[in-house]
Chains A and B, each alone.
Chain A
Amino acid sequence: MATAPRSARRPPGAGVKLSFNDPVVRAIFWQIVIVGAVGLVVWWLVGNTVRNLEARRIASGFDYFWREAGLPIGEAMIEYQPSDNYFRALVVGVLNTLRIAVVSIVLATILGTLIGVARLSRNWLVAKLASVYVETLRNLPLLLQLLFWYSVLQSLPPPREALNPLPHVYLFVRGLQMPWPQWTPELGTVLAVMGIGIVASFLVRGWAKRRQMLTGEQFPIGWTAVGLVVALPLAVFVMQGANLPLDVPTLGRFNITGGILITPEFTALLIGLVTYTAAFIAEIVRSGIQAVSHGQTEAAAALGLKRGQALRLVILPQALRVIIPPMTSQYLNVTKNSSLAVAIGYPDIVSIANTILNQTGQAIEGIGTIMAVYLTVSLSISAFMNWYNRRIALRER
Chain B
Amino acid sequence: MANGRVAAVSLPADRPVAHGFLSRALLWARANLFSSWLNSVLTLVLAYFLAKGLISFVSWAFIDAIWSLPTQDTRPCRDARAESACWALIGERNRFILFGTYPFEEQWRAALAVGVFLALYGLSTVRAFWNFRLVVIWTVGLAAIGVLMWGGVFGLAYVEQEKWGGLPLTLILATFGIAFAFPLSILVALGRRSAMPAVRMICVTYVELIRGVPLISVLFMASVMFPLFLPEGITIDKLLRAQVAIILFAAAYLAEVVRGGLQAIPKGQYEAADALGLGYWRKTGLIILPQALRICIPPLVNTFIGLFKDTSLVTIIGLYDLLGAAKASIVEPRWVGFGVEAYMFISLIYFIFCFAMSKYSQGLEVEFSRHTKR
Q: What is A's interface to B at a CB cutoff of 8 Å?
A: 1-3, 27, 30-31, 34-35, 38, 45, 48-49, 51-53, 55, 117, 120-126, 129, 135-136, 138-144, 147-148, 150-152, 154-155, 289, 294, 297, 301, 307, 310-311, 315, 336-337, 339-340, 342-343, 350, 354, 357, 363-364, 366-367, 370-371, 374-375, 378-379
Contact = CB atoms under 8 A, between A and B. Distances in A.
Contacts of B202: 34-35, 38
A301 B225 CA distance: 62
Contacts of A340: 216, 313, 316
B213 A370 contact: yes
Contact of A370 (B81, B220, B315, B344): B220
Chain B CB count within 10 A is highest, among A45, A311, A315, for A45
Contacts of A48: 228-232
B224 interface: yes
Interface in B219-238: 220-221, 224-225, 227-232
A373 to B, nearest CB: 9
A154 B196 contact: no
Given A30-B196, A123-B39, A141 B216 contact: no
A52 B232 contact: yes
21 contacts: A31-B196, A31-B198, A34-B196, A35-B202, A48-B230, A49-B228, A117-B1, A125-B46, A125-B47, A140-B347, A142-B309, A144-B323, A144-B346, A144-B350, A155-B337, A307-B3, A340-B316, A350-B214, A364-B225, A367-B224, A378-B212
Contacts of B1: 117, 120-122, 289
Interface of B: 1-7, 32-33, 35, 39, 42-43, 46-47, 50, 81, 195-199, 202, 209, 211-217, 220-221, 224-225, 227-232, 305, 309-310, 312-313, 315-316, 323, 327, 337, 339-340, 343-344, 346-347, 350-351, 354-355, 358
Contact of A123 (B42, B209, B343, B355): B42
Given A126-B42, A144-B347, A371-B213, A363 B196 contact: no
Given A122-B4, A124-B33, A367 B323 contact: no
Contacts of B5: 294, 297
Contacts of B217: 339, 350, 367, 370-371, 374
Given A31-B196, A125-B47, A354-B220, A148 B339 contact: yes
A144 B340 contact: no
Contacts of B197: 31
B212 A374 contact: yes
Contacts of A125: 33, 42-43, 46-47, 50
B340 A155 contact: yes
Contacts of A27: 195-196
A49 B225 CA distance: 9
Given A350-B214, A350-B216, A379-B212, A122 B39 contact: yes
A35 B191 CA distance: 13
Chain A CB count within 10 A is highest, among B39, B211, B343, for B343
Given A123-B39, A125-B47, A343-B316, A49 B310 contact: no
Sort A-B residue pairs by CB-CB distance and give the 6 closest, nearest first. A151-B339, A139-B354, A122-B4, A124-B32, A141-B309, A336-B214
Nearest to B8: A122
A143 B327 CA distance: 11
